[in-house]
């Protein structure tokens, strides 16, 4: 029997559940940040997999197929929860009246490994992701951590691709602000303490810079740069704008360092999501088996 034939005759038995439930549980837990709801999501996912197993034609790998089903099950549970009211606007980057970015100079930034090797810092990264408002956090997790395409995220959340890009970008920017004390080697007292410590006073240098960026050819302002970041990283920025973006990176210390910290934040978030957060509950297998039995009888 060929591999295609085997996957086409998908059998959801105990061995199948045992093989896939650990990573499905961890995926659901990452998305829902709640162990009980994650168990529910895994049960729902297996029941959905059973119901749709005839539609599984072996074109995709079983794991890829289950990955989508688990995400959908988690999102269905997510939609029924009450939404947090943290304002993402408070965590966005700062600009002065001339559209110049305000970003304190960066020295050394810890590497992803340096952060992840220290359990308390890795935990802080996970807490910071969890502190993001749900609508933004889910986009960040699906696009950056689960590595779904923009279109796949848009389909899963039933929002536009443009909306996915904007939300993902704002989530990354907010996460960068939350992790800034950690990245700058400052003591982290309270995760919600996002008081900017950067110098926000208008300076003569910044005024001159603002005039140059706004008026000279090939220049874009820091605020325009900010609005292009998501498309730039997706490779969707038209060539002309891409050149201006690249030129701005070389010209502007603030945006260059901001983008480096933004990218480090993305890598940290992704690395923190790869860490096992907890053991798979012992009763999960029994619960899934019972749920599948119910599904087979109805
Ligand atoms: Zn800039």
Residue-wise pLDDT tens digits, 200-240: 566 788 888 888 888 888 899 999 999 999 999 999 999 99
Residue 100 falls within a domain, yes or no?
yes
State the distance from the centre of ligand 1 to the C-alpha of 249, rounded, in angstroms: 7
State the distance from the centre of ligand 1 to the C-alpha of 149, rounded, in angstroms: 28
**Given 51, 81, 111, which residue is the final one in a domain?**
81
State the distance from the centre of ligand 1 to the C-alpha of 259, rounded, in angstroms: 10
Residue 239 falls within a domain, yes or no?
yes
Tens-place pLDDT, residues 22-39: 999 999 988 887 888 899
- State the pLDDT at residue 156: 92
On whether both 74 and 102 belong to a single domain, the answer is no
On whether both 54 and 16 belong to a single domain, the answer is yes
Q: Give the bridge partners for 94, in sequence order.
A: 102
Domain count, the chain: 2
The HSE-up count of residue 159 (CA atoms within 13 Å, CB side) is: 14
**pTM of this prediction?**
0.76
CB atoms within 10 A of CB 260: 14
Task: Please report which confidence band the pLDDT of residue 4 belongs to, taking 50, 70 and 90 as the band edges.
Answer: very low
State the distance from the centre of ligand 1 to the C-alpha of 44, rounded, in angstroms: 47
The HSE-up count of residue 179 (CA atoms within 13 Å, CB side) is: 34
On whether both 139 and 33 belong to a single domain, the answer is no
On whether both 162 and 211 belong to a single domain, the answer is yes
State the distance from the centre of ligand 1 to the C-alpha of 176, rounded, in angstroms: 17
Length of the chain in terms of residues written:
298
Q: Which residue has the higher pLDDT, 43 or 127?
A: 43
On whether both 74 and 113 belong to a single domain, the answer is no
User: At residue 8, does pLDDT exceed 60?
Assistant: no
CATH number at residue 261: 1.10.10.10
State the distance from the centre of ligand 1 to the C-alpha of 138, rounded, in angstroms: 28
CB atoms within 10 A of CB 225: 24
Residue 195 falls within a domain, yes or no?
yes
State the distance from the centre of ligand 1 to the C-alpha of 143, rounded, in angstroms: 25
On whether both 44 and 97 belong to a single domain, the answer is no
State the distance from the centre of ligand 1 to the C-alpha of 112, rounded, in angstroms: 25
CATH number at residue 53: 1.10.1740.10
On whether both 50 and 160 belong to a single domain, the answer is no
State the distance from the centre of ligand 1 to the C-alpha of 87, rounded, in angstroms: 25
**Given 81, 110, 144, which residue is the final one in a domain?**
81
Tens-place pLDDT, residues 237-287: 999 999 999 999 999 999 999 999 999 999 999 998 876 656 777 788 888
State the distance from the centre of ligand 1 to the C-alpha of 273, rounded, in angstroms: 30
Question: In which domain, by residue range, is 17 found?
Answer: 3-81
State the distance from the centre of ligand 1 to the C-alpha of 165, rounded, in angstroms: 20
Tens-place pLDDT, residues 155-177: 999 999 999 999 999 999 999 99
State the distance from the centre of ligand 1 to the C-alpha of 253, rounded, in angstroms: 7
Angle of CA points 66, 70, 74, to nearest 5°: 175
Task: Please report which confidence band the pLDDT of residue 3 belongs to, taking 50, 70 and 90 as the band edges.
Answer: very low
> How many angstroms separate the Cα of 126 from the Cα of each of 52, 221, 259, 275?
33, 33, 21, 10
Residue 168 falls within a domain, yes or no?
yes
State the distance from the centre of ligand 1 to the C-alpha of 248, rounded, in angstroms: 6
**Given 32, 50, 81, which residue is the final one in a domain?**
81
State the distance from the centre of ligand 1 to the C-alpha of 126, rounded, in angstroms: 29
State the distance from the centre of ligand 1 to the C-alpha of 100, rounded, in angstroms: 6
On whether both 57 and 202 belong to a single domain, the answer is no
């Amino acid at each position: 029997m060929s591999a295609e034939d085997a996957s086409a005759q998908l059998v959801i038995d105990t061995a199948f559940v045992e093989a896939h439930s650990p990573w499905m549980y961890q995926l659901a837990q990452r998305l829902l940040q709640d162990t009980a709801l994650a168990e529910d999501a895994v049960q729902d996912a297996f029941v959905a997999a059973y119901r749709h197993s005839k539609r599984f034609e072996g074109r995709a790998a079983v794991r890829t197929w289950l990955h989508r089903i688990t995400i959908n099950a988690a999102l269905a549970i997510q939609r029924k929860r009450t939404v947090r009211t943290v304002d993402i606007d408070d965590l966005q980057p700062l600009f002065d009246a001339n559209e110049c970015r305000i970003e304190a100079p960066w020295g050394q930034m810890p590497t992803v490994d340096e952060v992840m090797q220290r359990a308390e810092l890795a935990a802080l990264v996970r807490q910071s992701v969890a502190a993001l408002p749900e609508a933004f956090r889910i986009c960040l997790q699906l696009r950056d951590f689960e590595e779904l395409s923009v279109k796949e995220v848009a389909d899963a959340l039933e929002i536009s691709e443009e909306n996915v890009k904007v939300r993902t970008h704002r989530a990354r920017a907010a996460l960068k602000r939350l992790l800034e004390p950690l990245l700058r080697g400052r003591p982290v007292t309270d995760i919600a303490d996002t008081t900017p410590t950067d110098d926000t006073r208008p300076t003569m240098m910044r005024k001159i810079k603002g005039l140059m960026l706004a008026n000279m050819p090939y220049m874009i302002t820091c605020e325009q740069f900010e609005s292009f970041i998501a498309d730039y990283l997706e490779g969707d920025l038209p060539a002309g704008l891409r050149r201006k973006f690249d030129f701005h990176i070389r010209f502007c210390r603030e945006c260059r360092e901001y983008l480096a910290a933004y990218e480090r934040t993305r890598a940290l978030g992704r690395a923190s999501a790869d860490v096992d957060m907890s053991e798979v509950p012992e009763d999960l297998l029994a619960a899934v088996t019972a749920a599948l039995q119910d599904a087979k009888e109805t």
